[in-house]
Amino acid sequence: MVIVQRKQLSFAEKLYLPAIARGLSITFRKIFEKKITRQYPEEPLPKTEVTRGQPRLVVKEDGNIACVSCGMCEIACPAYAITIDGGETDRTIEREPVRFDIDMLRCILCGFCEEACPKDAIYMSDELELADYTRAALVYDIHKLKRPKAALQKRIDYVYRLNNRWRKSSSTR
Amino acid sequence: MNPMLRDFLVVFLKCNLIYGGLLGTAAGMTLAERKVSAWMQYRIGPNRVGPWGLLQPIADLIKFIFKEEMMPDGANKWLFRCAPLIAAIPAMLVIGVIPFGPAIPFEFMGNYPNFSITDLNIGLMFLLAIGGLSIYGVILGGWASNSKFSLLGGLRASAQMISYELTLILVILAVVAVSGSLNLRAVVETQKTIGEWNVFSQPLAFLLFVVAAFAETNRHPFDFAECEPELVGGFHTEYSSMRFALFFLGEYCAMIVMACLSTTLFFGGYSVPFWEDAPWFVGIAAFLLKSAAFLFLYLWVRWTLPRFRFDQLMHLGWKVFLPLALANLFLTGAAVSWGVDLW
């Protein structure tokens, strides 16, 4: 048990007026100090390669999507946000997705799909804003998800540096 | 022109001007409150609607009007609907006796020299009597909501009002004893020069008045009627939409009236310091500036001081302020009756 000795206040302290005046002077001075507000849509936070935004599909330099619709990301996804239907293609990889939907309302931006992908086809972009008028519009199909590789290059390089110990080569590198 | 019609027209014009100004200021205060609070917390405050956020009150109003109106089960429908009006209307009514400016030296539709809606002989009494009515709105709103938080808020409001209205009236009585009139214009006329301002002859009264006015208008640090951490929202917990806005309108109007009243009673109303024969429009500007300074004080204190505890409030009201106000009144009365010049 601790017995706390309350400090006996002097008369001036009991009046509270000096303390109130001091408090008022502090808040008044703060009015003129520098503001720390960030005007968000106009001044967004700086995005770095570590920024893990929404997943996007890589479109290689030859214009083809890197995905072979193996379904690894679909299985890895803890939020069941990804739906893939595979189809045939004449390219040497033989398979490509005919349907690749990510329900952005389910996506938790965990990045498991990025980790799971064996073909470096899906990466977390730095795109963060997510707003629309209907739920249906927020289920992104393959056309909305496609991004040129150059746009994701910073993240790809970062992931490679991170995983360099066990990931020596890749089909799309 | 028919004199009755002329009288009616003049009063109509005055009412339009003064109530337009009052409601405009009340709307501006909602913005000012947010701006000042933001500045004191290193923020910018509303700046999206219109330049510098100036149209924010209009956006708020539109939002309030289009919001859904809710009424709890078991609420007293009639009183629930009336309460916001009862809270807002008396607060607005009392602005009518405040003298905004000195006598106007030219004739406008006949000889109506006074820049106030009416110069009641018992202006101060009218102000206190009618202004005190708005607490009924708060109590009734709290009771009619059929909610415990609201009821407690209303109860607290009534206890607080009774405690602090006493102090307020006793303090004002001391000022009245000095100026010798209940007419607010006469009170101002006794404070022509800065040396005659009542704040210097009645410093204790001024201090008590300011604190009591804070309590009377339900402002921080005495806003127990709507104490968020304990009572959700106090008396207006169950209110939504425009009725909720009406409560706030009443509160801001009461603040504005109190600011005008402190200017009138203690800071020489429309008299301009160091310029005794100032023209009438300078007088009005001086009045508005002084009142604006008081309004800023309300915001400033709100964003500086923490809320009292309710028992501290009662202790302060009954054991500190009431004796002090009585002593002040007694001393002032004695000085006045023995003819001692107070300053």
Question: How many inter-chain contacts (A to B, CB under 8 Å) are there?
Answer: 33
Q: Nearest C-alpha of chain A: how many angstroms from B17?
A: 33
Q: Nearest C-alpha of chain B: how many angstroms from A46?
A: 20
Which of B33, B36, B42 has the highest number of chain A CBs within 10 A, making it the mutation to test binding with A? Answer: B42
Residue A31 and residue B40: Cβ atoms within 8 Å?
yes
Residue B42 and residue A27: Cβ atoms within 8 Å?
no
Q: What are the tens digits of pLDDT across the range B192-223?
A: 777 778 888 888 888 889 888 888 887 878 87
pLDDT confidence bin for A171, thresholds 50/70/90? low
> CB atoms < 10 A from the CB of A101, how many?
17
Cα separations in angstroms, B80 against A84, B63, B137, B141, B225:
57, 21, 9, 6, 17
Residue B42 with chain A: CB contacts under 8 Å? 30, 33-37
Picking from B40, B43, B300, the nearest residue to A37 by CB comes out as: B43
Question: pTM of this prediction?
Answer: 0.80
- The domain over range A55-162 is classified in CATH as 3.30.70.3270: yes
Residues A13-22, mean pLDDT to the nearest whole number:
83
Give me the pLDDT at residue B134, please.
82
Cα separations in angstroms, B70 against B67, B75, B225:
9, 11, 21
Residue A36 and residue B40: Cβ atoms within 8 Å?
no
Give me the pLDDT at residue A77, please.
92
Residue A35 and residue B40: Cβ atoms within 8 Å?
no
Picking from B38, B40, B305, the nearest residue to A20 by CB comes out as: B305
Q: Is A95 helix (H, G, I), strand (E, B) or coil?
A: strand
Q: Indicate whether this complex's ipTM tops 0.85.
A: no
Q: Is A59 helix (H, G, I), strand (E, B) or coil?
A: strand
Q: Is A136 helix (H, G, I), strand (E, B) or coil?
A: helix
pLDDT confidence bin for B272, thresholds 50/70/90? confident
Q: Is A85 helix (H, G, I), strand (E, B) or coil?
A: strand
- Return the structure tokens found at A38: 């960030």
